[in-house]
């Protein structure tokens, strides 16, 4: 992962705390990204909600070709709409939705987009830096660093933490790695060693 801009990670942890405060969620409590989207005025759809899509199209998007996409954002003026792949596990959808929210709140401009005749902008690709930022944002919002530290101190398994936060075990492992909490805790344990 390329270096994120200075202060970005801290900004994300602060945003995660701020959103929890706004939503009345304890600082290290689980946050449902759908609830966050509603709070931010972002609508969430699945392919079933897209007007004019045939049953075949929906089946294609959520079954046959479900591995080819996670989520997309459609912008119309100041309003944003996220389409999530309902063919994916809820844990993956949570990450995809939080990722798309990241692109929206960080006002990322897509590298590629598609504009429909009625002025809807379909965001498809972002540059690598923006992808990394959205990934980091999603991880921090879903699994705050302090929550991770708390769980590790209690000796809870990754699977249990993943269930608690509604995310995949892979995301927990990635957060443990990238946030440096493992190193931080093992250093501390080191000081307690005889």
What residues make contact with Zn ion under the rule CB under 5 A?
126, 131, 134
Instruction: Pick the closer one to Zn ion by CB: 37 or 181.
Output: 37
Residue with tokens 């690598």: 128
CB of 73 to Zn ion, least distance (A): 8
CB of 111 to Zn ion, least distance (A): 10
Instruction: Pick the closer one to Zn ion by CB: 126 or 136.
Output: 126
Question: What's the rounded Cα separation, in Å, for the pair 163 and 160?
Answer: 5
Instruction: Pick the closer one to Zn ion by CB: 136 or 165.
Output: 136
CB of 130 to Zn ion, least distance (A): 7
CB of 134 to Zn ion, least distance (A): 5
**C-beta neighbour count of 43 within 10 angstroms:** 13
Question: What's the rounded Cα separation, in Å, for the pair 19 and 26?
Answer: 10
CB of 139 to Zn ion, least distance (A): 13
Instruction: Pick the closer one to Zn ion by CB: 124 or 157.
Output: 124
At 193 the three-state DSSP class reads coil
Instruction: Pick the closer one to Zn ion by CB: 19 or 126.
Output: 126
Name the residue with the smallest CB distance to Zn ion.
Answer: 134
CA angle 178, 100, 182 (to 5 degrees): 15
Closest CA to 124 of 48, 71, 57: 71
């Amino acid at each position: 992962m390329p270096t994120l801009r200075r202060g970005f990670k801290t900004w994300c942890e602060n945003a995660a705390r701020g959103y929890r405060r706004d939503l009345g969620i304890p600082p290290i409590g689980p946050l449902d990204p759908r609830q966050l989207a509603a709070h931010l005025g972002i609508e969430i759809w699945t392919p079933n909600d897209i007007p004019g899509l045939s049953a075949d199209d929906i089946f294609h998007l959520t079954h046959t070709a479900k591995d080819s996409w996670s989520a997309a954002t459609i912008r119309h003026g100041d309003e944003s709409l996220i389409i999530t792949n309902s063919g994916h596990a809820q844990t993956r959808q949570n990450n995809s939705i939080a990722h798309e929210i990241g692109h929206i709140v960080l006002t990322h401009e897509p590298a590629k987009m598609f504009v429909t005749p009625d002025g809807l902008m379909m965001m498809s690709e972002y540059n690598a830096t923006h992808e990394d930022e959205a990934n980091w944002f999603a991880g921090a919002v879903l699994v705050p660093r302090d929550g991770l530290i708390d769980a590790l101190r209690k000796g809870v398994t990754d699977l249990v933490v993943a269930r608690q936060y509604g995310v995949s075990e892979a995301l927990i492992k990635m957060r443990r790695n990238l946030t440096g909490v493992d190193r931080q805790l093992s250093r501390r344990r080191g000081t307690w060693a005889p």
